Each structure stands twice: as C-alpha cells, then as structure tokens.
Amino acid sequence: MPAQIIQTNTTPFNKVTIDPVTLEVIENALRNARIEMDATLVRTAMSPGIREQGDAFPLIADRTGQMIVGQFGSYIGPFLDGYEGTVEEGDMIMLSDPYSVGGAISHLNDWLVLLPVFKDGRLVAYTSMFGHQSDIGGKVVGSMPIDATSIFEEGVRIPPVKIYKNGVYNEDVIKLIMAQTRMPEWCTADLNALIASCRVAARRVVEMCQRFGDDVFAAATDELLARNYRAMKHLIATSISEEKVSFEDYLCDDGLGFGPYKIRCTMHREGDIVVLDFEGTDPQSQASINFLLNENMLKMFFGIYMIMVFDPQILFNDGYYDLIRVKIPEGSLLKPKFPSALSGRTHALGRLFDIMGGLLGQKTPEFLNAAGFSSSPHLFYSGYDAKGRWFQLFQIGFGGIPGRPLGDGPDGHSLFPGFTNVPNEFLERYFPLVIERYETVADSGGAGLHRGGNGIIMTYRFLEPGVIAIHDDRWFTSPWGVNGGEPGARARKVLEKPDGTQTVVGNKLENLTVEAGDQLHFITWGGGGWGDPLARDPKLLELELERGLVTAEGAKRYGVVLVDGKVDVDATETLREKMRTARGPITEIFNFGPDIETLRANSLAETGLPAPKAPVKPRHWAA
C-alpha cells in the first residue's frame, strides 16, 4: 500500500493559465532556491566528503513529487509507492535504505532527508537532499566494504523514518542511528546541514506561493514539466533512430577476484518513446559492486546526456519521463536482489555515463566523446596516532577527462559535478600524512587529435601505522578512444616500503595494513582519445613535452618525432606516413584496446595483477 498523504485542506488547485513572464520568474526563483540549498549544506557540513568535495545533491519537486530543479531526478515517486505510512504537515522523513526506494538512492552511505511542504493545509511541494556520509558503521572504516556479501555488513540501514512528526523531533531514533557510526560528530553535523538545506528551500517555496498564489505556483510547476516534455520530445524525434543500437562496456572486477562484469544497453525509438533495454547485462555480483539502478534516475542521466550532447541550453526536470522506457533484468548487476551488498556501486555508476555517451554518440560521431567517466576512486586510511587519537580519512580522487569534440580532455579533473580535491595542506595538517607527489601521469591520456586527459599520481606517505582501503576501476579494461583516438592508460596502485621495495596492490581492496614511512602511489586512469592522433599538430606535442604532459617516446603514438625537445619535421612525416599505411583508413568508431581474452592473458605482465576469473552467478540469488 502506498503512502497516505494527509491534507487538512483538500481543495483542488484551480487551473489557471500562466503567462511566460511569471513562468520565467518562478523558474529562476526555484533555481535560486536550489543554489541556496547547496550553499547552506557546504557551509555547515563537517565530513570532508561533503564539505570539501561536494558529494551531496539537492532537489525541489512539485506536489506530485516530480523534480523541478535538481540533478539526479526524483526518487519521491518510488518512495511514496513503497512507504507504508502517512505523509503529513510537520513531518520530515529520513532514509538510507536503497531497497526502500527502488534504488533511488543507491547505497547506505547516502542519507536522504525529505520534507513535504505544506501551505494552508495543502501539499504544495517537496524539498529533499541527500549526502554521502563518511562513516555509517559496518564492517570497515568508511562503511563501503568492497568484499561485503550482503547489505547487513554495510552499516546502519535506515528505512524511511520520521525524524520529525507533527513538528516534534524524534531524538531517540537519531540517538539510535548515531550510535552505529564511528564518526557521530560528522554525521550529526551533516544531518543538521541536510535538514537546514531542506528547510531553506521549503521556506522559499512557501514565499513563492504567497507572492504568486498557490494556484499560479502549481500551474507553473505543471508548465515547467510540460515545457521540458515538449523540448525533449522534439530532441528525441530528431536525434534517436528507430533502428536498434547497442553498446557494452565492463566493470573490471568485484574485489573478490571475479570480473570483468558486462553492462549492455540497447536503445531504439518506438514512435515518441525511447526504449533502453539492459538485456545482456551480466548477473549480479556476490560482492558490493552491484548497482541497484532506479529507472527514473537512468531517465535523468539519459536526458542530461541528450541535452549536453545536443543542446546544452535546455534546463532539465522530470517532465519527459514518460518519453523513456527502461528495462533492467531482475538479478542482474543493475537490479540485484535483496539483501545483496550495494556499497561499492560507484564504479557501475561511472561506467553508466560512459555507456550513455557511447550509445547516444555512435550514430552521430561528431558529437561523441571518448570514455573516461570510469570510476570515482576512493582511498580510506585510518588508525590511532601517537597520542592515541583516532583518525579516519575518506578521499575521492580523479582521473583524466576524455577527449571531446570540443578539444582535449582536461588532465586530472573531476567528471562528477562540483567535486574538488581536498587541499593537500589540509590533509597534512589534520591527518598523519605527507603528500609527496600530486601531478598527472605523462602519456596516460589516450592519443588523439584531441587527446584524453592524463590520470593523476598522488603519492601518500603514511606517518602512522594504520589500515587502508582502495576502490578504483579501469585497471583491467581501458577507457576507450573514439573516431581514431586511442584508449587511455589504466589505473594502478603501488605500495612502496621505506627500503624502496615496490608491490603492486589491488585496485579494490580492504584492510591493507600500512606502516609508518610506507608510500602509496595512487595512480588513476587517463581519458580516451578523440580523433586521429596523426592529425594532431606536432608543435603541440613539442609544447606538451616541455610541459611534462607527454614524453618523447609517447609522442611517437602521434607519429611525432621529437629530438632534443624539437619536432623533427622529416622524421615525423616519414613516421606518420608509415603509421598511416600500416593502420589503413579509420573505419571503427570505437577503440576498446585488446579483447577480454587478450587482456586476461597479459594481465599479470601488464598490470602486475592476476586476471580476474569469469564471474559466476551467485547461487542463492539465481533467478
């Protein structure tokens, strides 16, 4: 039974027509309210994940729960469908269990606050925000055990609960929750921040209703959704073919030695409707890399990619959802069954963006970007310092941005919106660390007319013994290149002892003990290249050699011979001619690098790590 919405005033909203000026004004006001939510959150949150890196997302929805402004699309519909209770004035709901909202949030670390906004007894809107908590208990520090085999190992699981009921704060439930985390201070501050953000936006919505009238506000949100529907309908009709196109890509491994996992998506248009079918995606993992993908969230990703690729001026909201149909097979990596572990879903999330890009761009290669939205690398480091004080760090890293129609992919930048690094001086001041190196890796970006951005090497020197964990991907398969561009380099992690001994360590591992003086070289992937590398201006290679972004050896991938830092024009022309002949004309849109079997055969030699074993379907969840 779905949620029961209790309104003391059930007068329906009058249908009013809204003039374009008022509509524009309300849309702007809503956008400002959203910016205000971000500002409030960042200022008052405490965990570095939110305050320094911006891992939190706001939303304002209309009275039916459809997102008007926000990033990831509305989860309110699935929440209302699954919530057995009432939604009343004075309520504020909190939750973290992905299974309770059809995957609308995707792991327990994301705490979500939802505030129904009432005016004069009528529900007029919802405001909501979720943010990543740096620790919610569970079997490992940071609460994202890559080797978990069920959600019960991943920390406190919060079904939808009312943290305010009739305006009264439910202190007991908060105490219960905070008792589960290693970092109650961070979590308390972050939760306060989420609440304050939702309240700010709710205040703005009520002010808008007062200023324009409730009916006008309701009509405005209806029209904003309808306007988006019309724009997207036009875009779909003109840019999506009725012919089926498919694209597939892989997650490298699951941290338990199995992989790669295939994600496959097939797209076609039936009349006005786009169908996205994930048939052919591998079965779920027994580990935590599963991604319980909410259909609406996927629609949002799809819409954003359409808009960004074809017409970045359109503002997006939930209005076009009816134009997209999503099919995800039960028991697959993208629809795992309860109680599968979910905490390591970030890799599949990143990969989905690559797949969206590949799927949408393959019929219009001039709009196509290379791959590089490959992961969101995590490092965890925790222990007790010399004074016996507990420390724990959770840090998100970045790789190379793919080569784009617009130009080169930036080196070592974030693909997730609004994220920044934690300043190294901050890390060194508040954690027992020295960051010895923080730069990009020459030649790691895939060669191309527009090259991929280089990955980052960040070298951590640990000053206290402790435990680390690493989550990263794209160490086994490569970020692909397009239109003649080459794949980017793969990720790699190396632990160096004080005596200089180096060991390659896994890209998904938990509970690795480190000693004082150890160094970890945390190397991320480079973006794929875009377009023919042999067409890149040789002078650019000369400049980038000087900048340390490519090496003389790496320049040869572009057919450019650099001697003493200068282009050897004749040798370059000869080499380019030779390479052009050997290669032949560029016919393939995508360059994925070697096939999976070749990758397996060469894994140990090339990556320093054994190849993952082919995934097996977990027996107890077999459909």
Partner 1 sequence: MGYRLGVDVGGTFTDLLLFNDNTGAFWRHKTPSTPADSSVGILNGVTAICEKAGITPADVEFFLHGTTVATNAVLEGKGAKVGLIVTEGYRQIMQIARSFVPGGLAGWIVWPKPEPLAKLEDTFEIKGRMTAHGEELRPIDDADIRAALEKLKARGVEAVTVSLMNAYLNGAHEKRVGELAAEILPGVPVSLSHEVLPEMQEYERTLTTVANASVRPIVGRYVRNLREKLRGGGFAGSLSLLRSDGGLMSSEKSEEHPVSLLMSGPAGGVTGALWVGANSGIRNILTLDVGGTSTDVALIENLDPRRVRTTEVGHLAVRASSLDVKTVGAGGGSIAYVPELTKALRVGPQSAGAVPGPVAYGKGGTLPTVTDANVVLGYLPEALLGGTFKLDREGAKKAVQTIADTLGIDLYAAARGIIDIVNENMFGALRMISVQQGYDPRDFALMGFGGAGPLHVNAVARLMGSWPAVSPVSPGVLCALGDATTRMRTETARSFSRRFDETDEAEVLAVLDAMAKQTREELRAEGIKDEDITSLFEIDVRYEGQAFEVPLSIDPETLHRDGLAGVTKRFDDEHHRLFTFNMKSAHELVNLRAVALGPVLDLPAAELPQGNGDPSAAKIRDHELWMDGKMVPAVIYDRSKLKAGDLIQGPAIVIEMDSTTLIEAACDGLVDRVGNILINPR
Task: Report in angstroms how near the CB of residue 59 gets to partner 1 at its nearest.
Answer: 13
Which residues, 291 to 320, sit near partner 1 by CB under 8 A?
301, 304-305, 308-309, 311-315
Token digits of residue 452: 């991929």
Pick from 13, 164, 391, 416: which binds partner 1 (CB under 8 A)?
A: 416
Site mask for partner 1 (CB under 8 A), range 436-475, x = bound: xxxxx---------------x--x----------------
Task: Report in angstroms how near the CB of residue 324 gets to partner 1 at its nearest.
Answer: 16
Task: Report in angstroms how near the CB of residue 371 gets to partner 1 at its nearest.
Answer: 13
Q: Which listed range, 46-54, 103-111, 375-383, 479-487, lies at the site for partner 1 (CB under 8 A)?
A: 46-54
Pick from 171, 172, 388, 406: which binds partner 1 (CB under 8 A)?
A: 406
Task: Report in angstroms how near the CB of residue 582 gets to partner 1 at its nearest.
Answer: 32
**Cis amide leading into 339 (omega within 30):** yes
Pick from 135, 411, 486, 532: which binds partner 1 (CB under 8 A)?
A: 411
3-state secondary structure of 525: coil
Closest CA to 270 of 295, 230, 240: 240
Distance CA 444, CA 399 (A): 10
Task: Report in angstroms how near the CB of residue 75 gets to partner 1 at its nearest.
Answer: 16
Task: Report in angstroms how near the CB of residue 412 gets to partner 1 at its nearest.
Answer: 5
Instruction: Please identify, using beta-carbon distances, which residue of 98 and 412 lies nearer to partner 1.
Output: 412
Distance CA 283, CA 383 (A): 36
Task: Report in angstroms how near the CB of residue 584 gets to partner 1 at its nearest.
Answer: 30
Pick from 153, 248, 385, 428: which binds partner 1 (CB under 8 A)?
A: 428
Residue pair 195/89 in contact (Cβ under 8 Å)? The answer is no
CA atoms within 13 A on the CB side of 436: 12
Contacts of 501 (CB under 8 A, 6+ apart): none
Which residues, 148 to 207, sit near partner 1 by CB under 8 A?
185-186, 188-189, 192, 196, 199
Instruction: Please identify, using beta-carbon distances, which residue of 123 and 541 lies nearer to partner 1.
Output: 541
Distance CA 203, CA 209 (A): 10
Pick from 5, 6, 16, 25: which binds partner 1 (CB under 8 A)?
A: 25
Pick from 81, 179, 234, 604: which binds partner 1 (CB under 8 A)?
A: 234
Q: Which listed range, 9-17, 22-30, 291-299, 601-609, lies at the site for partner 1 (CB under 8 A)?
A: 22-30
For β-strands 324-327 and 273-277, DSSP reports them as: parallel
Task: Report in angstroms how near the CB of residue 369 gets to partner 1 at its nearest.
Answer: 6
Decide: is 245 part of the binding site for partner 1 (CB under 8 A).
no
Token digits of residue 71: 């990033």
Contacts of 402 (CB under 8 A, 6+ apart): 369, 370, 371, 372, 373, 409, 446, 452, 453, 479, 488, 527, 528, 530
3-state secondary structure of 140: coil
3-state secondary structure of 247: strand
Residue pair 373/527 in contact (Cβ under 8 Å)? The answer is no
Distance CA 130, CA 109 (A): 10
Distance CA 121, CA 6 (A): 9
Which residues, 509 to 568, sit near partner 1 by CB under 8 A?
543, 546-549
Helix segments in 45-73, DSSP class H: 48-51
Decide: is 401 part of the binding site for partner 1 (CB under 8 A).
yes
Residue pair 148/100 in contact (Cβ under 8 Å)? The answer is no
Q: Which listed range, 224-232, 290-298, 475-483, 494-502, lies at the site for partner 1 (CB under 8 A)?
A: 224-232
Decide: is 414 part of the binding site for partner 1 (CB under 8 A).
yes
Residue pair 188/47 in contact (Cβ under 8 Å)? The answer is no
Instruction: Please identify, using beta-carbon distances, which residue of 322 and 330 lies nearer to partner 1.
Output: 322
Distance CA 152, CA 284 (A): 17
DSSP strand E in 515-622: where? Answer: 519-523, 562-563, 566-567, 590-591
Pick from 4, 8, 10, 28: which binds partner 1 (CB under 8 A)?
A: 28
Which residues, 358 to 387, sit near partner 1 by CB under 8 A?
369
Decide: is 389 part of the binding site for partner 1 (CB under 8 A).
no
Task: Report in angstroms how near the CB of residue 128 gets to partner 1 at its nearest.
Answer: 17
Q: Which listed range, 13-21, 86-94, 160-168, 593-601, lies at the site for partner 1 (CB under 8 A)?
A: 13-21
Residue recorded with tokens 């039916």: 64
Pick from 7, 64, 71, 170: which binds partner 1 (CB under 8 A)?
A: 71
Distance CA 4, CA 416 (A): 36
Q: Which listed range, 60-68, 84-92, 214-222, 399-407, lies at the site for partner 1 (CB under 8 A)?
A: 399-407
Pick from 6, 7, 13, 36: which binds partner 1 (CB under 8 A)?
A: 36
Decide: is 426 part of the binding site for partner 1 (CB under 8 A).
yes
Instruction: Please identify, using beta-carbon distances, which residue of 30 and 341 lies nearer to partner 1.
Output: 30
CA atoms within 13 A on the CB side of 178: 16
Task: Report in angstroms how near the CB of residue 518 gets to partner 1 at its nearest.
Answer: 16
Task: Report in angstroms how near the CB of residue 298 gets to partner 1 at its nearest.
Answer: 13
Decide: is 429 part of the binding site for partner 1 (CB under 8 A).
yes
Q: Which listed range, 23-31, 82-90, 164-172, 174-182, lies at the site for partner 1 (CB under 8 A)?
A: 23-31
User: Per DSSP, what are the bridge partners of residue 132?
Assistant: 110
Task: Report in angstroms how near the CB of residue 237 gets to partner 1 at its nearest.
Answer: 12
Pick from 235, 267, 328, 534: which binds partner 1 (CB under 8 A)?
A: 235
Token digits of residue 154: 């991943």
3-state secondary structure of 60: strand
Instruction: Please identify, using beta-carbon distances, which residue of 315 and 623 lies nearer to partner 1.
Output: 315
Using CB atoms within 10 Å of the CB of residue 5, give its burial: 0 to 12 exposed, 13 to 18 middle, 19+ buried: middle
Token digits of residue 476: 């086994």
Task: Report in angstroms how near the CB of residue 36 gets to partner 1 at its nearest.
Answer: 5
Distance CA 159, CA 85 (A): 12
How many CB atoms within 10 Å of residue 465? 15
R_g of the chain computed on alpha carbons: 25
